[in-house]
Amino acid sequence: MKHIFILAVFLSSSMAFTQNCEAYKYYGDTLKYKACNKAKEAAGHYQFSKEYQIALDESLEIDPTFDHAYFAKSIAYLKSGDFVTWKRLIDQAVQYNPKEHLGYRGWCRYQFFRDYKGAIRDIEKLDRLVDYDIGQSQNGTYHLNIAKGLCYKAIGEKDKAIEIIEKQIKLNEEENFVGAYDYVHLGVLYLETGKFEKAIETFKKQTHYNELAENQYYLALTHQKLGNKNESLACLKKAKELYIGKRRMFDTYSNPMDKIYLEDIENKLKTPFNPPDGRSPAVLSQ
């Protein structure tokens, strides 16, 4: 049991300590250099462990403005759902280094707590602060602008969400770096706003790029809207096959927006020709 435990925990440890402390020394910040080296003692310990947290506490005793230590400490609280302690710690990281941590805090607000307005505020603030690309979400799944678009959708501003996501996908396509779920999210937005032909076109791009149960499910709903009964049924059957084969939207810590469940597919399969509602089934369950 102990071997399994150590292995599993090791595999799920983060790489929070890849910082080069020498940079602080180079710029003459000896206090941060010392704090950084102390923080490195946490490396090799699990983020949740006493040893990890104590090494970071000691780092902060050396330099209470060392943003990286607050960030690293906050991770375990985030992952355990302790929003109170997480927010207190990550706020300090943001206070001392907003350019480095605002995007991360915004993403976490969305990913873990569905704090849509808070996520939008953080991502937009970062965008105003920097003149470079604001980058990806921590898990690499989305460009932060896509995440921002999803947050606008969640607060009911679907046209704005479409505008943001369309623009970012275009940039992603130019760099051949489209996110794993970008097209399916945009397709669902088109479906929900009655742009059925655009939805089909976008779901087809997702099929070509990264086929998912969700993609076929929402494609089925779109075909239903257009009265394409045979196509709809075929897509639902394909969605079920993909779902069972685990080709579905996934996140290690939470359930992605627009994710579906087997029950959603089976309910639609029972009544494939009934008037569809076209509504995302997961709105209340993300």
Partner 1 sequence: MRKSLLNISILISMLYSCQTEKKSGEKGDYLRWVGDIEQNDQIDPPEFKICNGDDNIFQYFNIGEGPVYHGEKSKIVHTFHSKYNPITGNNENGFIRIRFVVNCEGTAGRFRVLQSDDTYQETEFDQAIVSQLLNITKGFENWEVLKINETVVDYYMYLIFKIADGQLIEILP
Q: Which of 69, 120, 264, 280 is in the footprint of partner 1 by CB under 8 A? A: 264
Q: How far apart, in whole angstroms, are the C-alpha atoms of residue 131 and residue 128?
A: 8
Shortest approach of partner 1 to residue 169 CB, angstroms? 25
Does 4 engage in binding with partner 1 (CB under 8 A)? yes
Binding window for partner 1 (CB under 8 A); candidates: 5-13, 161-169, 179-187, 212-220: 5-13
- 114-133: b or e for each residue (b if 16 or more CB lie within 10 Å)? ebbebbbbbbbbbbeeeeee
11 CB burial (10 A radius; 0-12, 13-18, 19+): exposed
Under DSSP, the state recorded for 276 is: P
> Which of residues 47 and 224 has its CB atom nearest to partner 1 in the complex?
47
Instruction: Between 29 and 112, name the residue whose CB sits nearer to partner 1.
Output: 112
Q: Which is nearer to partner 1, 114 or 125 (CB)?
A: 114
- Does residue 15 bind partner 1 (CB under 8 A)? no
CA 281 to CA 277: how far, in whole Å? 10
Interaction mask 39-78, partner 1, x per CB under 8 A: -------xxxxx--xx--x------------------xx-
Query: Min. distance of Cβ 79 from partner 1 in angstroms?
Result: 7
128 binds partner 1 (CB under 8 A): no
Binder of partner 1 out of 29, 97, 113, 211 (CB under 8 A): 113
DSSP string, 247-262: -S---SSS--TT---H
Query: Can you tell me the distance from the alpha carbon of 71 to that of 32, in angstroms, rounded to the nearest whole number?
Result: 15
Q: Which stretch binds partner 1 (CB under 8 A): 83-91, 144-152, 179-187, 208-216?
A: 83-91
Q: How far is the CB of 19 from partner 1 (least distance, A)?
A: 21
129 vs 71: CA distance, rounded Å: 19
Count CB atoms within 10 A of the CB of residue 222: 27
Give the pair of three-digit tokens for residue 57: 């506490």
Closest CB to partner 1 among 71 and 196?
71
Q: Report phi then psi at 278, rounded to 5.
A: 70, 5
Contact call for residue 115 and partner 1 (CB under 8 A): yes
CB atoms within 10 A of CB 252: 8
Q: How far is the CB of 8 from partner 1 (least distance, A)?
A: 5
Report the interface residues with partner 1, using CB under 8 A: 1-2, 4-5, 8-9, 11-12, 46-50, 53-54, 57, 76-77, 79-88, 112-115, 250-255, 261-264, 284-286
